[in-house]
Amino acid sequence: MGDTRSSPGALIALACAAQFMVVLDVSVINVALPSLQQELSVAAIDLPWAVNAYTLVFAGFLLLGGRLADLHGHRRVFLAGLGLFTGASLLGGLAPTVALLGVARAGQGLGAAILAPVTLTLLTTTVTSGPARHRALAVWTGVGLAGGTAGNLLGGLLTEYLSWRSVLLINVPLGVIALAVAPRHLPPGRPARRRRLDAPGAVLATAGLTCLAYAMVQAPARGLTTAPTVTVAAAGVLALAVFLAVEVRAADTALVPARLLHARHIALGNLTMLLAGAALNPMWYFLALAMRDLLNFSPLQTGLGFLPHTVLTLAVGILVTPRLMRRMPARRLVVAGALVAAAGFAWQSRLAPDGGYLSGILGPAALIAAGGGLLTTPLTAIVTSRISPEDAGAASGLMNTAKQAGGGLGLAALVAIAAQPAGTGTGYRTAFLGISAVCVCVAAAASLLPRVVDGQQE
């Protein structure tokens, strides 16, 4: 392939479309689960794997997926990830058994783990500084945030009027169009010199992250402190500890180069991102159940109930935040956004059985969406700033891993502390107050971040 002459706009559109598909499929199948269970005669104990197979593989392979883009070129890795994701979506949509559906969802997760980091890498290596970079990151983060919300809405609509299979098959035409268009618009992004993959590090990181992800997705059902959960989590922690020891000796071939973790804005920024994921990601789980149990919403009504979150997040994240980033330090916006979101979750905790939608959902949604829209783009800008092109994929994989790991840890912990009889408001109140407290921790961590403007630390 020759050099591309594509405009940055076309590249941003491709990267954001792929990111939207990846995030959408984390949640789009949730509303379709009852229909899926009935058609495929799935036992209740096996049903969560329609969701968890995707989540496990996605979280486990993100670090490896990010580094592949540095080693083999952005265009090649983007096309490989998108092709795998699209093919697995087709297999899942046509699957005659739950076992084959699980394999397909795992394939989607692997494609997503390859695809998600390179979408961000394409932006950070093509649009490197200034307001244009802020706008590109704002669109990418806004689309990602909106994808989680839109999954519930789209899943409800497709399941209601077509079938549960359509929530997977809808990826196929989108993926085929992107595969046809991408080669003409994506730069190769090949590194200046060939390097080998850190195979031991890849195996250890993937095993460790997969074990942790497995423990987190099983914790709500088995308990956070039960022997199986603790054992698998301990194995994951051990594998990651050995991984860190291996990486110190791997030098240039490391999956996560030590120079990334030595940079204060990257190390502290990823810790802040992990905390942000622990707050924002579990919100969709608890709010969907609260609308069902406390407001007696149908699946379609629940999906529509998330519409304000989607619209407001996009409006704040794309239209407002980039302008504020020209005038204020990024860390200050992260702190402000986290505190606004904390207030929104505190308000959300007051949702009562049979309460009204306007005061119970829409009011808190305005603060939660505004806070999430304010904090995510500046935090992404900080974490991805001052990184050499040859490490951009590793940095993107690390950031995505922090976000997904935070979401899993946060959900497992919140489910454990908020366990209450279904249909009561007490458990949801505890969960939303817990999320509010985590948002305050995000603000505290962000206040320690260095000032970063246009990719340069001051």
Q: Mean of the pLDDT values across residues 414-420?
A: 72
Q: Over the stretch 213-272, which tens digit does the pLDDT of each residue have?
A: 777 767 666 766 788 888 888 988 898 888 877 776 766 666 777 777 777 888 898 899
Q: How far apart are CA 360 and CA 362, in angstroms?
A: 6
Element spanning 41, H or E: none
Percentage of the chain exceeding pLDDT 90: 19
Asked whether the whole model's pTM tops 0.85, one would answer no
Q: How far is CA 203 from the centre of its chain?
A: 22
The model's confidence at residue 195, banded by pLDDT at 50, 70 and 90, is: low
Task: Select from 210, 195, 207 the least CA-distant residue to 254.
Answer: 195
Residues 96-137: tens digit of each pLDDT = 988 899 899 989 999 999 998 888 888 877 766 667 777 888
Strand partners, 457: 452
Q: Encode pLDDT of 56-90 as tens digits.
A: 788 778 878 877 877 777 888 899 999 999 999 99
Please give the average per-residue pLDDT across 3-11, as a whole number: 64
To which H or E segment does residue 208 belong? Answer: helix 199-222
The conformational region for residue 444 under phi > 0 = left, psi -120 to 50 = alpha, else beta, is alpha
Identity of residue 369: A
Residue 190, pLDDT > 70, answer no
Q: What angle, 0 to 180 degrees and rounded to 10, lies between the N-to-C axes of helices 426-446 and 392-417?
A: 150
Q: Has residue 367 got a pLDDT over 90?
A: yes
Task: Give pLDDT, residue 61.
Answer: 82
> Pick from 281, 240, 286: which is nearest to 409 by CA?
281
Hey, what amino acid is at 13?
A: A
Give the C-alpha distances (Å, rounded to integers) separating 434 from 41, 138, 415, 438, 441: 36, 27, 10, 6, 11
Place of tokens 């730069």: 187
Between these two residues, 342 and 184, which has the higher pLDDT value?
A: 342
Quickly count: other Cβ atoms within 10 Å of residue 191's Cβ: 17
Lowest average pLDDT, out of 37-46, 63-72, 396-405, 413-422, goes to 413-422
Confidence grade of residue 39 (pLDDT, cut at 50, 70, 90) = confident
Q: What is the DSSP letter of 251?
A: G
Show Cβ contacts of residue 9 under 8 Å, excluding neighbours closer than 6 positions: none
Q: Is the pLDDT of residue 351 over 60?
A: yes
- Mean pLDDT of all residues belonging to the chain: 81
Q: What is the CA radius of gyration of the chain?
A: 21
What tens digit of pLDDT does each residue of 273-327 get?
A: 999 988 988 887 788 778 878 888 877 787 788 888 888 888 888 889 888 988 8
Q: What whole-number distance in Å separates Cα of residue 92 and Cα of residue 52? A: 14
Mean pLDDT of 190-210: 69
